[in-house]
Amino acid sequence: MTSTAAHPLLEITTPGQPRLVARGLVKRHGATTALAGVDLEIGEEESLALTGPSGSGKSTLLHVLAGIVTPDEGTVALRGRRVEGMSERERALLRRGRFGFVFQHGQLLSELSALENVALAAMLDGEPRAYAEGLAAQWLARLGLAGDQGRRPGEMSGGQVQRVAVARALVTRPDVVFADEPAGLLDEATSREVLRVLVDSTRAIGASLVVVTRDPLVAGWCDRRVELRDGRLDP
């Protein structure tokens, strides 16, 4: 499942460095300081569980690390290249090609089948349609959804939908996968099933993973766990 698309950001390689490095991140929302100075490094192929109480800044940190939200202060670098210094176009390319996302809900297009949803991510990353559909079919089969390719999100269970979302995030073989309580709306058993698939599949393709989770068992599956409190990482 190798990507054939030439990617303008693929030349970003600095061997030996952590994959993602955040320094001095501060983010304010009006009077609220969501991030109050966060330093974080994420290694090559490392999985990191991001935990902490409600309102502690987990989602904000994930969005800043992923280049979705610009910090008020501080820097984020992917393999040595500053993300917050990129143009909007470069950041969009980065998000589409080098990052994968799994959110709580809403990331699949309801009018498209599971196969089309996954293939679309690969097509947006530059793959031709037939190749993208082949990749999508392989990923769906790998995640136990071989028989569900033609189903739309409304015709699948919550757990199946989130597994399609995992396939969608991984089909571009991203460097880093960001997941914000990706199974937060599911029952505990189904949620853990989805998270297990996410952690294992991310590891299998050599991607790094940042996952926001409240579940200590899931956090235990990750290589490392950090806790945010009032916008700071607990030492």
Ligand X SMILES: Nc1ncnc2c1ncn2[C@@H]1O[C@H](COP(=O)(O)OP(=O)(O)OP(=O)(O)O)[C@@H](O)[C@H]1O
The CA distance from 84 to 25, in Å, is 11
70 binds ligand X (CB under 6 A): no
Choose one: 29-37, 81-89, 160-168, 186-194; the region binding ligand X (CB under 6 A).
29-37
Choice between 34 and 161, CB closer to ligand X: 34
**120 belongs to the binding site for ligand X (CB under 6 A):** no
- Which residue's CB comes closest to ligand X? 29
Shortest distance in whole angstroms from residue 117 CB to ligand X: 25
Please choose, out of 30-38, 97-105, 146-154, 160-168, the segment that lies near ligand X by the rule CB under 6 A: 30-38
19 binds ligand X per the rule CB under 6 A: no
Nearest to 164 by CA among 210, 206, 110: 110
- The residue from 8, 14, 32, 111 that contacts ligand X (CB under 6 A) is 32
- Residue partners of 147: CB distance under 8 A and separation at least 6: none
What's the min distance (Å) between Cβ of 37 and ligand X?
14
Nearest to 199 by CA among 28, 1, 49: 49
Measured CA to CA, the distance from residue 105 to residue 185 in angstroms comes to: 8
Give the C-alpha separation, 212 to 89, whole Å.
27
Binding residue for ligand X (CB under 6 A) from 54, 89, 154, 189? 54
Q: How many CB atoms lie within 10 A of CB 151?
A: 16
* 20-29 and 73-78 strand pairing: antiparallel
Q: CA 25, 28, 34: angle at the middle one, nearest 5?
A: 70
Pairing of strands 81-82, 232-233: unpaired
* Shortest reach from residue 185's CB to ligand X, in Å: 13
Query: What mask of x and - would describe binding to ligand X in positions 126 to 165, judged by CB under 6 A?
Result: ----------------------------------------
Q: Does 182 bind ligand X (CB under 6 A)?
A: no
Q: Which of 19, 58, 79, 98 binds ligand X (CB under 6 A)?
A: 58
Footprint on this chain of ligand X (rule: CB under 6 A): 29-30, 32, 34, 52, 54-60
